[in-house]
Amino acid sequence: MYAADDSRGAFRYVQFVKIYDEVAPVIAADQPEECFGGTSVTCTADLTLTFTAIDECSDVEVTLQLDANYDVTQGFRPDNAAALGVGIALTNNGDGSYSIRATNVPVGEHAIRIRAADGCGNFDVEILEFCVTPDKAPTPICIQTLTVTLMPNGQGGGMAAIWASDFIASDVFDCFGNLIDKYSIYTEEEAGEAGFTPVAGRLGIDLDCEVVNQDVPVRVYAVADNGSADYCSVIVQVQAFQDGVCGEAGPNLTGTIATRTDRAMANVAVTLTGDGGAMDETVLTDAAGQFNFVDLTMGADYTVQPEYAVAVDVQTVKTSDIVKIANVILGAEDFTSPYDYLAADVDQNRNLNVLDLVAIQRVILGLDANFATGESWGFVPADVDVSNPYAAAFPEVYNANDLTGSILDADFVAFAYGDVVGNGRSTASINAADAQLEVGQTHTMEISGTELAGFQGTIELAAGLELVAASYAGEGAINLNRAGDGLVAVALRGDAVLTLEVMATAAGRLSEMVSLTDAVTVREGVNLNGTGGALTLAFTTANAPAGAQNALLQNTPNPVRGETVIRYDLAVAGAATLTVQDAAGRLLLTRKLDATAGRNQVTLTAADLGAAGVLTYTLTAGDFTATRKMVVV
């Protein structure tokens, strides 16, 4: 305003200036080109993402949200990161750039939604996509030290094979719980080479005399399906089988003893004699059926003779063998192998007749402990032609005359006298009518095999039931030597029927007082096709119940020390196949089975399996296949 007089004055006013910002901040973020590797025990990842958020007028406020299972077709769906155990932290670098630190992020497709706002109500949104893959390499659990023995290689040296599976102490799993079943083995020297990368499938390596009496460092790798791998370091202690294996020595004589079905025979006593009486040495075959004599004299004569002095195995010599041999004698069928003719000739007179049947039957019934010859196993050099088995006496020894060098194939074929059916026995049943007995009541029970060519076993009467009389109709025999103990041993063939007259000294059901056991004679039923198998005594029908399902049961006992029984149920009778493999996938055993409807079982021995550790067994019947694990110690 001006002054009221004529003196000088001044003016004053207020001006308001309003600035409008309608430009939003700008977010710039580069999508990661590759997934982040989840390398923790649970395959989660810790990762860092970067972006810029710039505004021309003011500082920006940045907020973050996580979609832990981002699907672009479903749109962004925010999750509670803390509830998922995922950590999200934002760092302002002060120059317009920001860092996102995400921790414990699980495997999968993810996204973070970034929102940057200025002070004028403007904002920008960007979705930053990223992914995590399961890159945690499986670490095997290993036995730290193993000893291997170099065996003669036939070329003046020694060799031993070691397998990755030999070192695996227990199973390992990936972060999703899947079993890791791919392993490889390398020496530390191989693994230390430039550019080395382990691959699945290198199951074993060979060691030779270059490392004898040394500790060899080895790596055993576990390999996941995505190719990631980790290893354990182990030590292999290498030793020689005998002095001279890896040095200047005389020739060796090596061989293998196995059955005609290639089942290795362990613990067979093999005696080497010769060299003018200077040599008389006995060794036992190993688990692979191998024997070895080293540093022999050039030009000398030697004789190899195996012996397996064990009792007749009544678990394998059974009525099914008698049925088979009887059919061959009658001309109704032939043996599948000439070695079976040798096995059937238990009196070793090169003449198959009823006397052989009687001798086998007496052993089965427990009347004799062994065959008249005292031998339960026979051996024939593998290079001997046995196509005409009864033409002449076959040598049971291997002769090496004027030894000119190492012999690596002094092999023998072994056969058990009386055992012509072999293994692969299934399940059969004999039947009897059940009854309720009162004290003092006598009862006659008939036991017969339905659709069987023969059966054997021990009928055992429980307390409360006494045997009055026993008889049978048909071919075979019974043993009443222990009838006073309530034990009746039977071995019958064809349509034979066993009749027992019993008296009850206590009330009860017949099915609860009569059982079938192995007390004197081992149980076996023989199907009409000649296949032997486990035998049960049924007081009801042997058919499978309505609605029966296919099932493979766990073997018992497990772990396996001597023998084990594998039971399985089939809804329909028919052919089945049982296979056993070791942890490396090597096939150890195959059995062809003639299974009945309902419960079946197969008995295997540790010798049948031929390996120790964790094994798998698989049953295949028609469209049904099932696999379980067993442990052999």
The closest alpha carbon to 216, from 194, 195, 233, 232, belongs to 233
DSSP 485: G
Residue 30 covered by a domain? yes
Residue burial 604-628, b: 16+ Cβ < 10 Å; e: rest: bbbebbbbeebbebebbbeebeeeb
The mean pLDDT value for 427-454 works out to 82
pTM here is 0.42
Residue 495 covered by a domain? yes
> What confidence tens digit (pLDDT) does each residue in 583-608 have?
777 889 999 888 877 778 888 988 88
Query: Does one domain contain both 557 and 479?
Result: no
**pLDDT at position 571:** 83
135 or 194: whose pLDDT is higher?
194
Inter-residue contact 483 to 365 (CB < 8 Å): no
Q: Specify the CATH number for the domain of residue 568.
A: 2.60.40.1930
Cα-Cα-Cα-Cα dihedral sign, residues 256, 258, 264, 269 = negative
Domain end, chosen from 103, 134, 165, is at: 134
Work out the pLDDT band at 395, boundaries 50, 70, 90: confident
Residue 291 covered by a domain? no
The closest alpha carbon to 63, from 100, 102, 105, belongs to 100
**pLDDT at position 479:** 92
Query: Does one domain contain both 433 and 516?
Result: yes
The closest alpha carbon to 415, from 568, 625, 285, 258, belongs to 258
First-to-last alpha carbon distance for the chain, in angstroms, is: 114
Pairwise CA distance, residues 505 & 489, whole Å: 22
> What confidence tens digit (pLDDT) does each residue in 199-241 have?
888 999 999 888 888 999 999 999 888 788 899 999 999 888 7
Residue 617 covered by a domain? yes
Q: Which two tokens stand for residue 487?
A: 């034990």
Work out the pLDDT band at 4, boundaries 50, 70, 90: low
Inter-residue contact 274 to 301 (CB < 8 Å): yes
Q: Which two tokens stand for residue 531?
A: 């296949």
Work out the pLDDT band at 424, boundaries 50, 70, 90: very low
Residue 78, SS3?
coil
Query: Does one domain contain both 115 and 177?
Result: no
Q: What is the largest CA-CA distance in the chain?
A: 163
Query: Does one domain contain both 435 and 534?
Result: yes
Work out the pLDDT band at 630, boundaries 50, 70, 90: confident
544 or 595: whose pLDDT is higher?
595
Domain end, chosen from 538, 567, 593, is at: 538
Work out the pLDDT band at 3, boundaries 50, 70, 90: low
**pLDDT at position 248:** 59
**pLDDT at position 234:** 93
Does the pLDDT at position 543 exceed 60? no
**pLDDT at position 426:** 56
Residue 266 covered by a domain? no
Please, which residues bridge with residue 215 across strands?
237
Residue burial 480-492, b: 16+ Cβ < 10 Å; e: rest: eeebeebbbbbbb
Phi/psi of residue 186, nearest 5 degrees = -140, 150
DSSP 482: T
Please, which residues bridge with residue 22 across strands?
none
Match 């006013």 to its residue by tokens. Answer: 13
Query: Does one domain contain both 94 and 165?
Result: no
Task: Say how many C-beta atoms besides its own lie within 10 A of residue 194's C-beta.
Answer: 4
> What confidence tens digit (pLDDT) does each residue in 487-537 have?
999 999 877 889 999 999 998 888 888 999 888 888 888 877 677 777 888
Residue 118 covered by a domain? yes
Inter-residue contact 523 to 426 (CB < 8 Å): no
Does the pLDDT at position 400 exceed 90? yes
Residue burial 428-445, b: 16+ Cβ < 10 Å; e: rest: bbbbbeeeebeeeeebeb
| Domain containing residue 33 | 26-134
Most confident among 103-117, 532-546, 606-620 (mean pLDDT): 103-117
Q: Which two tokens stand for residue 562?
A: 């001597």
Phi/psi of residue 358, nearest 5 degrees = -65, -40
Inter-residue contact 567 to 576 (CB < 8 Å): no
Pairwise CA distance, residues 563 & 565, whole Å: 7
Residue 358 covered by a domain? no
Relative to beta strand 253-259, strand 204-208 is unpaired
Pairwise CA distance, residues 349 & 341, whole Å: 12
Three-class SS of 490-555: EEEEEEEEEEEEEEECCCEEHHHHEEEECCCCCCEEEECCCCEEEEEEECCCCCCCCCCCCEECCC
Relative to beta strand 253-259, strand 412-416 is parallel
Query: Does one domain contain both 107 and 156?
Result: no
- Amino acid identity of residue 278, one-letter, is A
Query: Does one domain contain both 584 and 610?
Result: yes
Work out the pLDDT band at 544, boundaries 50, 70, 90: very low
Q: Which two tokens stand for residue 154?
A: 């036939």
Query: Does one domain contain both 32 and 129?
Result: yes
The domain tally of the chain equals: 4
Does the pLDDT at position 315 exceed 60? yes
Work out the pLDDT band at 461, boundaries 50, 70, 90: very high
Work out the pLDDT band at 574, boundaries 50, 70, 90: confident
In terms of Cβ atoms closer than 10 Å to its own Cβ (0-12, 13-18, 19+), residue 189 is exposed
Query: Does one domain contain both 33 and 115?
Result: yes
What H or E segment, with its residue span, contains residue 427?
strand 426-431
Residue 354 covered by a domain? no
Q: Specify the CATH number for the domain of residue 130.
A: 2.60.40.10
Query: Does one domain contain both 529 and 506?
Result: yes
Match 């706002």 to its residue by tokens. Answer: 117
Does the pLDDT at position 7 exceed 80? no
Domain end, chosen from 134, 161, 176, is at: 134
**pLDDT at position 2:** 52
Q: Report percent pLDDT > 90 for the chain.
A: 37
> What confidence tens digit (pLDDT) does each residue in 256-278 have?
999 888 888 899 999 999 988 88
In terms of Cβ atoms closer than 10 Å to its own Cβ (0-12, 13-18, 19+), residue 38 is buried
Work out the pLDDT band at 541, boundaries 50, 70, 90: very low
The closest alpha carbon to 374, from 309, 317, 288, belongs to 309
DSSP 314: T
Q: Which two tokens stand for residue 25?
A: 């901040």
**pLDDT at position 453:** 82
Relative to beta strand 123-134, strand 36-38 is parallel
Q: Specify the CATH number for the domain of residue 152.
A: 2.60.40
Q: Report percent pLDDT > 70 for the chain.
A: 94
The mean pLDDT value for 291-320 works out to 88
Does the pLDDT at position 57 exceed 60? yes
Residues 6+ apart with CB under 8 A from 53: 25, 26, 27, 28, 60, 62, 96, 98, 114, 116, 124
**pLDDT at position 427:** 64
31 or 426: whose pLDDT is higher?
31
The mean pLDDT value for 338-363 works out to 91
- Note the residue count of the chain: 633
Q: Specify the CATH number for the domain of residue 459.
A: 2.60.40.680
Query: Does one domain contain both 32 and 79?
Result: yes
Query: Does one domain contain both 522 and 556?
Result: no
**pLDDT at position 311:** 86
